[in-house]
Amino acid sequence: MKLLIVESPGKIKKIKSFLDPNWQVAASIGHIRDLPKKEMGIQVEDAKVKLQYINSPDKIQTIKSLQSTAGHADEIFLAMDMDREGEAIAWHVGLVLGKPNWPKIKRIAFTEITKNAILKAIDNPRRVDADLVNAQQARRAVDRLVGFKVSPLVWAAKDAGTSAGRVQSVAVRLVVERENEIRNFKVQNYWKIKANTSPDNLPENNAEGNHASLDFWSELIALEGKSLVSSIEDGKEDKQTIIHSKEYAEELLAKFQAGSWTVIAESKEVQSKNPYAPYVTSTLQQAASVRLKWNSKKTMQVAQKLYENSAITYMRTDSPVISQDALVMVRDYIKQKYPKEYLPSKAYTYKAKSNNAQEAHECIRPTDVNKTPDSITGLNKDEMDLYSLIWKQFVACQMAAARFNVATIDIQNGPGLFRAVGRQMLFDGWTRLTGSISQTTKDKEGGDQDDENGDEPLLPEVQKGDNLILNEIKSSEHKTKPPSRYTEATLIRTLEKYGIGRPSTYSSIMENIKRRGYVKEEKRKFYAEPVGEKLVDLLIRSFQDSWMDYKFTANMESDLDKVAEGELDWNNLVIGFNDQLDAKVRNTQFKPRQFQSIEARSNTETEGGVSANSSSEICDKCGKPMVQRKSQHGAFLGCSGYPNCKNIKSMSTKPAKAQSNTKTTSINESPDLPSKDIQESLRPVKVKKSTTKTPRTTRKKTSE
């Protein structure tokens, strides 16, 4: 019997359908081990970082089942996801299966759940990638250090929240700074001037003054050689100007009406608009936010279902690279379904914008492009909507460019320079499929800066030096607008722009900052909450030039990538960060209450004569920890944020009793992984008993 172990049980049915009856398929259901909840779990000895892992209590039965099944298997294939998190899960699963099973273990990975992809992976097994595992452990350690060493500062401050996170706090900073920009913004009035003109040398049939087919609008873009703007930028007073009042606008109107209109430049050119790259995680989340009005959590949940059902490739990626087989498949489809001019002579190639992208990964695409949105079956409405987005983006990315005839006319009138631009679509290209030249429907929601419509008014034939006839001139009042509030789409786009976070973290970041009350979301826009502003103010005072700095955070992501590539020792990265963090904490201007340990703080609290003890529950109203309390009516769970939050929950005595009898295993080990073979990378570890009660853990950890 052969055993294949995956992360998600949702993949089991589909994978089993591709394999013969000699195979068993099981799932780890995500992580099965993690650092302890109430202890740091990190030690540094002899310039080596040691992480203390414990078996997750809610995975005890899963571990026992995997161990039992593995004992009867002749070969064991660890088929977790191909990202760092998946590699670490594979490593942990291999460890808990035990030394007798190590010679049987092989590591495989695939980016799509199809028969060919799985069989190919089985035929090409490898060892656990030590560098990827170390990168995940380094990220986990750095996040844990921030959470445990900085969170006491947050607790000691009034109304500053419940935690600090290496990435989530930086995301909150973006929202808070945007809030301050909006709050401090001062509205300014400005005026625009537009003129409607016609060529002076009219054809004879238009001599009566019928200019309807030849007139066109132009807009004032410069005065006295200075660019006309809505608000003058600092230091550019000699290059920019503004029409600041109605009186000034009327004065200019009178001057232009009395002046002459002369064409000083005209140009015509054919412009091409290439298709956009296929989706990666961040752009898929942005597109779903705009077009489907979904949050990132829902987008990733639906994408996960599509992946498990073999409809799309792996949905956590920052690389737009397309495999050669997929290129052949999509170009063949375009050749069959569209006229020949819609297939470019050479395939488009795409490269990630971020220097830190994992180029070994592939874009998000349909596994079979012939399964069109109209023909694919077995999907519910949400899955169909997201699949349609992914399918269209992928096919369009290999279609011919759209072409436009663009004409520009510059007109001089005294001190004013007017400009008219006309654009006509000559060939729709890839927009024949998408229906728009914009990647999304609203630029301010994270789309690219393109007009929604492909056509603008056609301009008449004129030559340099031609005189024009003024038909109408008018001014219009406008007001400057503050920066737009972040939506999930634009916040994710900004995080990606700065290189902060990774594809697997964006959704969790959005959920964490909302759940913990740092920001609120109204009509899909983010507003900074007072607690979020207090948190950022507190952290900026001490860590502005450290982990709260955008560049620092992006550089940390780059360093983690270097660890994954084997270019940087993860021990040095973690130790260096820890030393710097300790120095910052010691010198902080805001001193907590003697830096209480998390365990000391959470084990026992007393409020109003009601005794309280820690629990693993999180308040579903404000996100703070729930604590066990006793009153004259018995035990119950109450929010630690009382009296601001008065949420309570009943306690079941049976689970409590079961928990008290549960003994968890604490596994101390050096995380260094030998790279010779799988047996060495799964070497035995020292085991000791621990009486620590460990709460439930989740599949992926993104921040403390």
Tell me the catalytic residues.
314
Q: Which two tokens stand for residue 354?
A: 């971020």
The angle, 0 to 180 degrees and rounded to 10, between the axes of the packed helices 488-498 and 281-291 is: 160
Classify each residue of 140-176 as buried b or exposed e, where b means 16 or more C-beta atoms within 10 Å of its C-beta.
Answer: bbbbbbbbbbbbbbbbbbeebbbbbbbbbbbbbbbbb
Question: How many Cα atoms are found within 13 Å in the side-chain-facing hemisphere of 373?
Answer: 17
CA–CA separation, 493 and 288 (whole Å): 13
With beta carbons less than 8 A apart as the criterion, state whether 500 and 170 touch. yes
Query: What is the C-alpha radius of gyration for the chain, rounded to an integer number of angstroms?
Result: 31
**What separation in angstroms does the CA of 296 have from each of 285, 502, 505, 506?**
5, 14, 10, 8
DSSP states along 357-376 = --TTS----BS-TTS-TTT-
Q: Is 616 exposed, middle or buried (0-12, 13-18, 19+ CB in 10 A)?
A: middle
- Give me the residues paired with residue 521 across strands: 526
Spatial CA neighbour of 149 closest among 299, 280, 42? 42
What's 114-180 look like in SS3?
CHHHHHHHHHCCECCCHHHHHHHHHHHHHHHHHHHHHHHHHHHCCCCCCCCCCCHHHHHHHHHHHHH
What's 258-298 look like in SS3?
HCCEEEEEEEEEEEEECCCCCCCHHHHHHHHHHHCCCCHHH
Q: Where are the strands (E) in 499-609, listed by range? A: 519-522, 525-528, 604-607
With beta carbons less than 8 A apart as the criterion, state whether 425 and 458 touch. no
Secondary structure of residue 19 in the 3-state scheme: coil
Which residues lie below 8 Å from residue 346, measured CB to CB, with a gap of 6+?
none
With beta carbons less than 8 A apart as the criterion, state whether 192 and 476 touch. yes
Q: What are phi and psi of 77, to 5 degrees?
A: -110, 120
CA–CA separation, 290 and 104 (whole Å): 48
- Start-to-end CA span in the chain (Å): 41
CA–CA separation, 573 and 422 (whole Å): 55
Which residues lie below 8 Å from residue 425, measured CB to CB, with a gap of 6+?
402, 403, 404, 454, 455
Place of tokens 């947050």: 154
Contacts of 239-247 with C-beta under 8 Å, sequence gap 24+, read 242/188, 242/190, 243/190, 243/191, 243/192, 243/193, 243/475, 244/188, 244/189, 244/190, 244/191, 245/189, 245/191, 246/191, 246/475, 246/477
Secondary structure of residue 592 in the 3-state scheme: coil
Place of tokens 């709460």: 695
